[in-house]
Amino acid sequence: MSSPVNFPKNPLISLTQDEELFRSSVAEFAAREIAPSWERWDQESSERHVVQREMISRLAGQGLLAMTCSPEHGGQGGTQTMATIALEELAYADPSVGSAVYALLNIGWPFLLGMYGRQEVAGSVIERVSRGEAFFGIASTESQGGSDIANLKSSAAKKGDGYVISGTKSFISGVNEVFGLPWGGGWFVLARTGGPGRAGLSGFAALPKEGGRVAPGVSHSLFEVAGKHSLSTGSVTFDGLEVGRGNLVGEEGRGFYLAMEGFNCARILVAAACVGASRWLLERAAEWLKSREIGGRRLSSYQSVGFRFAELVGKYEAARMMVYRAARLFDKVYFERQPGYSKGDLNAPVAMAKMMGPEVSMEIGQEVMRWFGASSFVRSHPVQRSVLGLLSYVVGAEGAQNVMKYIVSREVLGHDSVRD
């Protein structure tokens, strides 16, 4: 179907032939398997906290889970640019971003586990994630504040050859999925193994449900959230969850730094989801503005409307370029290992993409709701479902917006200049 918006050509986002083919296949899959169902999934899960097994198995069947993990681990061996393309297309098909965010968490955090986890745990988790039988996300946030990761309180005490994890993680995505999927899964959990501050934190593959068996010492609850219902949000309490040494990811004391690498990966994909949903919003707006007549004229013919549309298309294009710049850089650092590029080069570009993608999508969404007028105020209106899902990325998910600004200012002004 042709787009009602003539998006200008952009040679700066030039994809290889393989990447173009990949985009076509994901777009075709998403139009067939995701677009017709996303509103039903969002509604069902908002009413009854249903785990969307149908959605998850479709994503798995298309090879979109754990897609950047190595094939030895059961992943697809894809690149970050391919994951970015997939996220954009998924969020265009499901602009509540529920299915896109399910995919992005199960791409970004398994990737980290594959890079730094021990083979026996990483291999078995990633294989199950890629088959849609398990979930693997991130659990860092605690009730005293998600931005203050360095001071989080959960602990992991040594016991024999392993650890005992205690603490409560709040606002965690995938709680219902971990306990509802047949194999289970869990999260990259940050817990304190040493003294205060970031150097005392370690990362664990904490798996409250593994091989279909729920471990003792874990409880959870689900939150009634505003949107993006097809992926659950809740809290999980580790009341003495025992894990083996093999569940430690990387070395003791490296958890904070590994989490930052994981966030760099996931934030690119968050921003990609936001631009995918923004495209959907702009297209629905264009159809409406070209057909709705007020005072004998189409809405699109009023300059106040057309000029605003022009502004928003421009912001959308700028955000999209930020996303692809960050994805290409990520590939140079992690996949091509190109000399002259290091992990630190990702910090500002990724934070800029996450700083812009959600804000632009929210600005577009709010304007589109105004253009639709009263009809968009009905709870089931698809534009409203989209805006409420995207809102999660403005209020904090995958890192608060001021934290993104802090990272950019620190990187561009210099570390010493932003500390008093």
Ligand X SMILES: Cc1cc2nc3c(=O)[nH]c(=O)nc-3n(C[C@H](O)[C@H](O)[C@H](O)COP(=O)(O)OP(=O)(O)OC[C@H]3O[C@@H](n4cnc5c(N)ncnc54)[C@H](O)[C@@H]3O)c2cc1C
Position 395 contacts ligand X (CB under 6 A):
yes
Tell me, residue by residue from 64 to 93, as one string, x for binding to ligand X by CB under 6 A and - for no binding: ------------------------------
Q: Which stretch binds ligand X (CB under 6 A): 13-21, 29-37, 38-46, 165-173?
A: 165-173
The reply to whether 30 sits near ligand X by the rule CB under 6 A is no
User: Residue 319: which region, alpha, beta or left (left: phi > 0; alpha: psi -120 to 50)?
Assistant: alpha
Nearest approach, Cβ of 374 to ligand X (angstroms)? 27
E strand or H helix that includes residue 47: helix 38-48
- Least distance (Å) between residue 400 CB and ligand X: 3
* Chain residues 105-144 in contact with ligand X, contact rule CB under 6 A: 137-141
Strand pairing class (184-192; 134-139)? parallel
413 binds ligand X (CB under 6 A): no
In angstroms, the CA 74 to CA 125 distance is 9
x/- site string to ligand X, residues 166 to 185, per CB under 6 A? Answer: -----xxx------------
How far is 366 from 307, CA to CA, in rounded Å?
A: 16
222 sits in which H/E element: strand 218-222
Which one, of 348, 45, 364, 101, lies nearest residue 225 by Cα?
45
Nearer to ligand X, 145 or 182 (CB): 145
| Residue 406 within binding range of ligand X, rule CB under 6 A | yes
**Shortest Å, Cβ 241 to ligand X:** 16
Question: Given the rule CB under 6 A, which of 37-45, 153-161, 359-367, 400-408 is the region that contacts ligand X?
Answer: 400-408
What 3-state DSSP class applies to 137?
A: strand
Q: Indicate the residue among 146 and 186 with the shorter CB distance to ligand X.
A: 146
Nearer residue to ligand X within complex by CB, 263 or 324 = 263
Which residue number, 9 or 419, has a Cβ lying nearer to ligand X? Answer: 419
Sign (positive or negative) of CA dihedral 57, 78, 351, 194:
positive
Rounded to 5°, angle at Cα 182 from 179 and 188: 50
205 in contact with ligand X (CB under 6 A): no
Q: How would DSSP label each residue in 258-303? A: HHHHHHHHHHHHHHHHHHHHHHHHHHHHHHHHHH-EETTEEGGGSH
Nearer to ligand X, 123 or 174 (CB): 174
Find the binding residues for ligand X in span 48-67 (CB under 6 A).
none
For every residue of 149-205, DSSP letters joined together read: GGG---EEEEETTEEEEEEEEEEEETHHHHHHSSSEEEEEEEEESSSSSGGGEEEEE
Contact 322, 274 (CB under 8 A): no
Q: Which of 396, 407, 408, 411 binds ligand X (CB under 6 A)?
A: 396
Q: By rule CB under 6 A, what count of residues binds ligand X?
A: 23
Cα dihedral sign, 171-325-344-80: positive
C-beta closer to ligand X: residue 259 or 319: 259
Task: For the beta carbon of residue 202, count every other beta carbon within 10 angstroms.
Answer: 24
Q: Per rule CB under 6 A, is residue 151 in the interface with ligand X?
A: no
CB of 405 to ligand X, least distance (A): 8
Q: Applying CB under 6 A, does 401 fall inside the site for ligand X? A: yes
Residue 403 binds ligand X, judged by CB under 6 A: yes
Q: Which of 275, 344, 268 minimizes the C-alpha distance to 111?
A: 268
Residue 339 has which token pair?
A: 């000399």
CB 362, min distance to ligand X, A: 13
Phi, psi of 194 (to 5 degrees): -135, -150
Nearer Cβ to ligand X (123/208): 208
148 is written with which tokens? 């203050």
Site for ligand X contains 399 (CB under 6 A):
yes
Q: Is 98 in the site for ligand X (CB under 6 A)?
A: no
203 binds ligand X (CB under 6 A): no
Chain residues binding ligand X by CB under 6 A are 137-141, 145-147, 171-173, 225, 233, 392, 395-397, 399-403, 406
